[in-house]
A and B are shown apart, each in its own frame.
Chain A
Amino acid sequence: MSKVVHTMLVLIQDHHDLLMLQQCLASLTKTKNSFCVFFNQGGLSKDALHQELQKFDLSYVILGDGENKGIPFARQKCFEYIWEHRSDCTFITEIHPDMLFPSNWTEPLCKFLEQNSKEPCVSPGILTASGEWHPHQKGTSVVDMPSVPNEIISLLKWLQLPKITEGFVHPVMHRADLLQQVGGYDLNHLKGKQGYEDDYLLLSYFRELDLPYNWKPKVNLQSMVYHKTMAQRMHFTDIEHEANVNLTGLIQRFGKQAVDELNRIHQTELIRSKPAKKVVVLGENTDETCEFGQHAVAVIIETGEEPLKHQGFQKRDLHTLSKPEITIVTHPFWVTKHSELKPSFLISMLNDANDQIPRYFQFYKECLYALSNVIIVNNEEDFFLQSLRYDSVFFIQSTRNPVQNTSLYPFSEKEELLNELFSCYKHKECIQHIRQQQIHRKITVLKRQLKWDVHNEHIIGTLAKYLYLNGDFQEAEKYFFEAFARNVAFQRDDGLLKYYPWISLSQCRQYKLVEAINSFGILAVTDENKQIYECLLNEYNAGRFGTAIAMLMFALGDWLYADQLVREDSTIQSMDLIRNIYLKMKHYLKPATDSSLSVFYQLNHLDQIKLKGEIEELQGEKHRAIHYYLQTACIDELQLDAVVRMQTAESYLKSST
């Protein structure tokens, strides 16, 4: 018995067709233990076909009497034969005579279907005669095609990638039981000889198997097959007519919305995304599940002694690189190098482990975050903290605690996010949209969890924070108070510091300023906070509400909102506040604007020189940075620390590259 049974329709019209069939079968025999069902559509008699097939080490059966009754008919006959006579098989393929198969090409496909029990079918990647690599690099010729089958086959092996992508091509491997469950090609609806039969089958799967709304067929690139022509050769004069017959049948069965569904099914990420982008990774790639996105040609500049584990990456000297579109920084010290590349998009993706670097980490992390277009963190608390400070912060759980169901879905969360970001990084709204979706999903999940675990302080507190980030301040406030109550009830005693800042923030965002200031007051037990509280009361009592709000937001960590207020509300005149926001958010590292310059010129002499030093340092101008830092040290000796900091970062990078 064979686990896999192949089905192939054979139509031999000339010597060339015969040669292709021979080459195809020769390659197919390299994969053992399969059975083939051939359907003779014409050109050779059944005996002649037998004679041909017997030259190969194959178990097979031939169906059909040499008449071409169309593709759906022929395939369906093959399926029905298998369901009846080879019911022990697990997988059924649809293959073609113009293909070449590397040995054991079915194995990765079987494995994928075994591991992902809900997927009804999977295709390998294919290389076409024009050297195009389907489906993931459709439209671009990526290799010069050799002419000898053996060379083609070795090229196929070389092109294999440990990746799953979305898409549908032939050959395809079906799960035998699910194919039978949906009935294969229903000839009542597919009366035409060709056209829409693939779509019909995909829709059957989608509808009958109740697949997830966003389901799309998958391609496992660990298996690569050569498929000479992409289009079926048509000899029917009225192709359009035959296809229309099938489309009518399809709509008859699935209704008009079927067309939309089909559009969605075929809207794979490949169609959505652009060709590969050049991504440079600065720092270690310690994340085993993340290969920096599927459409990235990644060049990794790695520190540490760990050898590179991933395919497709090259380790390169920074100086030999041309300007990348996207740079990913995974270690804070590397931010000092990013200026050499001047990417148009900067992603920071620091590891938790980086926190163990004791000194100077914070400074460079803040610089990196100030400069980043996207910040990806792997700690949820850090996510909340940074989300209040910077735009476009994403949270992807640390890989050390893998999310459930990763085996069901081919990409790690991080890769998925990067793929999405790469495809739309030029549009800020699009990035915001992705982030909004992430937050919505979290809120839904947490609310569901909360139903089963109503007293779970952590769930309540986390939900409240997501609600806050989502702009649902009233609901957030309610949940923060609830989390606080749970904390008190369970005698955890850290509720005040944990939730009161958020309570105050939520109240403030609802313009419940009196409540917000009172909450701040309750929290204000340190000398620093007492001082701020006094200022808040003064501002409030003087009727400077805008200043009070911005001051409170900033003190409690919502830098983004404080910054926005300061920019938009001309009544806010507190220079201290404006200056503190400017310094903390490191606006000076970004391209200067009139307003940022006006803040700069109000700084004292020492701060001005210091910031000039930081600007130079982050632009890679070491000598100039040192010159400024020396001048600050002439005023205050402790400022010399900046030079020591530079030296520390540099020696770290040197020792590890």
Chain B
Amino acid sequence: MGTDHTISILTHSFLDGYNHQITKIFAGGLERYIYELSLLITQLGYSVEIHQLSFSEAFETHYEDNKLENVRIVGHQCSNLEHIPELFNKMACEASGQLIYASCIWHAIPYKKGSLGICHGINWDRIELVLDTKNAVRDNVQNALSSLSKLVSVDSHFLTYCRSTSFYTDCEKVELIPNFVDTTQFVPRSSPNKGRFRLLYPRRISPERGILQMMAVADILLEKHGDIEIEFAGETIDGAEVTTAFHFWRNHHPHGERIIHNVYTFHEMKNAYRDADLVIIPTIYSEGTSLSCLEALSSGLPVVSSNVGGLNDIIIDGFNGRLVTPTVARLESVISELIQNPDQRKELAANSRGTAMAFDMKRWQKQWIAVLNDYLT
């Protein structure tokens, strides 16, 4: 296939380049997004090529599974995150197709004019992040808006951010396409849970996802409620301090037998929801329209979510979940309340599936096809 029929997706992560396990896709939201997008593109008759970063050596490989065929993947060696702008430039130069800048939109990337970009949410919404950095991001976003033909945003917050901090004239420059959930995959369980009451944290073991708060909350919950257990379903990064701390914490926990840790593939993830009674999404910063949150809703579960980023687009407090500022005390209080109140849980769960239907994958595909058709012609 010639250049005309290839689309090159530039991203910092797809295959697991953190642990150099480049035969599998890293289990994060961004990676799933790119996977689904690639599927869609191939369905439109284009071939897909992905350029990503590798935190060990550079690589070039092909990925395929039963749905996605023969995707060329190039891993560009990255030793320092400050090199991201140059590395994206390198990817753009080496790419053989039309470009989609699929991550790192807040970096000072020298874009190829007229390309398409995706913003997966605001990740500079960390309250203690220094002002200089926040100001630099504003400039970088302005640059992206000036250079790219279109920017797809997964949540309404980035759209508002652009409108409020940048100058541009094209009202359709930022296209809001909320994230998706495959409501056929994630379905409410048919029979009630027979084991202990289970809390599920379906996120990476990573500080921005609120793992530290979740661990501290777990200490209190496990002490307070003798009949609950907590599952942490998410990847760890080898060698990261938080990974060490997480394992050390578990090993020394007086209720360690009620703390479960599993890493699931995309396809296994539905099992985690099936066994859960309550889902906690305690994100601290950097959240778009959380796939996990949508999956939890689609699985008919009550959700306790932080009021961060795109989660505010999905959860209406008291209707389909609980929305809290992610401090240990507030999270613990709301979770304890829900643990002790089955009626409230039932009420929330009753609205969750319906919410998820509004984010069904088919809607997402339709919106993206329109954007792609526009871009490719």
Assess the B244–A644 pair: CB atoms within 8 A.
yes
Residue-wise interface mask of A (625-644) relative to B, using a CB-CB cutoff of 8 A (1 in contact, 0 not):
01100110110110011011
Tell me which of B207, B242, B249, B328 contacts A626 (CB under 8 A). Answer: B249
CB of A622 within 8 A of chain B?
yes
Contacts of B207 in A (CB 8 A): 633, 637, 640
A622 to B252, CA, bound (A): 7
Q: A623-B254, A640-B241, A641-B241 are in contact. Are A633 and B248 (CB under 8 A)?
A: no
CB of A396 within 8 A of chain B?
no
Assess the A634–B213 pair: CB atoms within 8 A.
yes
Assess the B244–A630 pair: CB atoms within 8 A.
no
CB of A647 within 8 A of chain B?
yes
Assess the A644–B212 pair: CB atoms within 8 A.
no
Tell me which of B216, B241, B245 contacts A634 (CB under 8 A). Answer: B216
Q: A627-B219, A633-B212, A634-B216 are in contact. Are A640 and B245 (CB under 8 A)?
A: yes
Assess the A637–B249 pair: CB atoms within 8 A.
no
Tell me which of B213, B219, B244 contacts A643 (CB under 8 A). Answer: B244
Q: A637-B212, A640-B241, A644-B241 are in contact. Are A630 and B248 (CB under 8 A)?
A: no
CB distance from B52 to the nearest CB of A (A): 25
Contacts of B241 in A (CB 8 A): 640-641, 643-644
Q: A640-B212, A640-B241 are in contact. Are A634 and B328 (CB under 8 A)?
A: yes
Tell me the chain A residues, 307-342 only, with Cβ under 8 Å from chain B.
none
CB of B24 within 8 A of chain A?
no
Assess the A647–B219 pair: CB atoms within 8 A.
no
Assess the B245–A643 pair: CB atoms within 8 A.
yes
Contacts of B196 in A (CB 8 A): none
Q: Which residue of B lies closest to A637 (CB)?
A: B207
A647 to B207, CA, bound (A): 18
Contacts of A622 in B (CB 8 A): 252
CB distance from B248 to the nearest CB of A (A): 4
Q: A637-B207, A640-B242 are in contact. Are A631 and B216 (CB under 8 A)?
A: yes
Contacts of A641 in B (CB 8 A): 241
A627 to B328, CA, bound (A): 11
Tell me which of B128, B216, B254, B327 contacts A630 (CB under 8 A). Answer: B216
Assess the B216–A643 pair: CB atoms within 8 A.
no
Residue-wise interface mask of A (572-601) relative to B, using a CB-CB cutoff of 8 A (1 in contact, 0 not):
000000000000000000000000000000
CB of B113 within 8 A of chain A?
no
Contacts of B254 in A (CB 8 A): 623
Contacts of B245 in A (CB 8 A): 626, 630, 633, 640, 643-644, 647
CB distance from B250 to the nearest CB of A (A): 10
A630 to B327, CA, bound (A): 12
CB of A297 within 8 A of chain B?
no
A371 to B131, CA, bound (A): 42
A630 to B210, CA, bound (A): 11
Assess the B248–A631 pair: CB atoms within 8 A.
no
A634 to B207, CA, bound (A): 8
CB distance from B218 to the nearest CB of A (A): 9
Assess the B253–A630 pair: CB atoms within 8 A.
no
CB distance from A617 to the nearest CB of B (A): 11
Q: Contact size class for B?
A: 10 to 19
CB of A646 within 8 A of chain B?
yes
CB distance from A593 to the nearest CB of B (A): 30
CB distance from A412 to the nearest CB of B (A): 40
Q: Which residue of A lies closest to B208 (CB)?
A: A637
Q: Which residue of A lies closest to B245 (CB)?
A: A643
Contacts of B249 in A (CB 8 A): 626, 630, 643
Residue-wise interface mask of B (217-245) relative to A, using a CB-CB cutoff of 8 A (1 in contact, 0 not):
00100000000000000000000011011
A647 to B250, CA, bound (A): 12
Contacts of A646 in B (CB 8 A): 248
CB distance from A624 to the nearest CB of B (A): 9
Contacts of A631 in B (CB 8 A): 216, 328
Q: Which residue of B lies closest to A647 (CB)?
A: B248
Tell me which of B212, B242, B244, B252 contacts A623 (CB under 8 A). Answer: B252
Tell me the chain B residues, 292-329 only, with Cβ under 8 Å from chain A.
327-328
Assess the B212–A630 pair: CB atoms within 8 A.
yes
Among A622, A633, A636, the one with the most B-chain Cβ atoms within 10 Å of its Cβ is A633
Contacts of A633 in B (CB 8 A): 207, 212, 245
Tell me the chain B residues, 239-293 only, with Cβ under 8 Å from chain A.
241-242, 244-245, 248-249, 252-254
A634 to B217, CA, bound (A): 11
CB of B358 within 8 A of chain A?
no
A622 to B249, CA, bound (A): 9
Q: Which residue of B lies closest to A641 (CB)?
A: B241
A643 to B249, CA, bound (A): 8
A483 to B252, CA, bound (A): 54
A644 to B245, CA, bound (A): 6
CB of B369 within 8 A of chain A?
no
Assess the A630–B219 pair: CB atoms within 8 A.
yes
A641 to B254, CA, bound (A): 22
A29 to B241, CA, bound (A): 72
CB of B215 within 8 A of chain A?
yes
Contacts of B213 in A (CB 8 A): 634
A344 to B16, CA, bound (A): 54
Contacts of A640 in B (CB 8 A): 207, 212, 241-242, 245
Assess the B216–A647 pair: CB atoms within 8 A.
no
Assess the A643–B248 pair: CB atoms within 8 A.
yes
A626 to B218, CA, bound (A): 12
A634 to B126, CA, bound (A): 12
A636 to B327, CA, bound (A): 13
A596 to B4, CA, bound (A): 74
A332 to B213, CA, bound (A): 31
Q: Which residue of A lies closest to B216 (CB)?
A: A630
A627 to B221, CA, bound (A): 12
Assess the B212–A626 pair: CB atoms within 8 A.
no
Residue-wise interface mask of B (328-371) relative to A, using a CB-CB cutoff of 8 A (1 in contact, 0 not):
10000000000000000000000000000000000000000000
A623 to B213, CA, bound (A): 15
A643 to B253, CA, bound (A): 13
CB distance from A422 to the nearest CB of B (A): 35
Q: 11 more A-B contacts (CB under 8 A) besides A626-B249, A630-B216, A631-B216?
A: A630-B215, A634-B213, A634-B327, A640-B241, A640-B242, A640-B245, A641-B241, A643-B241, A643-B249, A644-B241, A647-B248
Offer 9 A-B interface pairs, CB within 8 angstroms, sorted by A. Answer: A626-B219, A626-B249, A626-B252, A630-B212, A633-B207, A634-B216, A641-B241, A644-B241, A646-B248
Q: 9 closest pairs, A vs B, by CB?
A: A643-B245, A647-B248, A630-B216, A622-B252, A627-B219, A633-B212, A634-B212, A644-B241, A623-B252
Measured CB to CB, the residues of B under 8 A from A are 128, 207, 212-213, 215-216, 219, 241-242, 244-245, 248-249, 252-254, 327-328
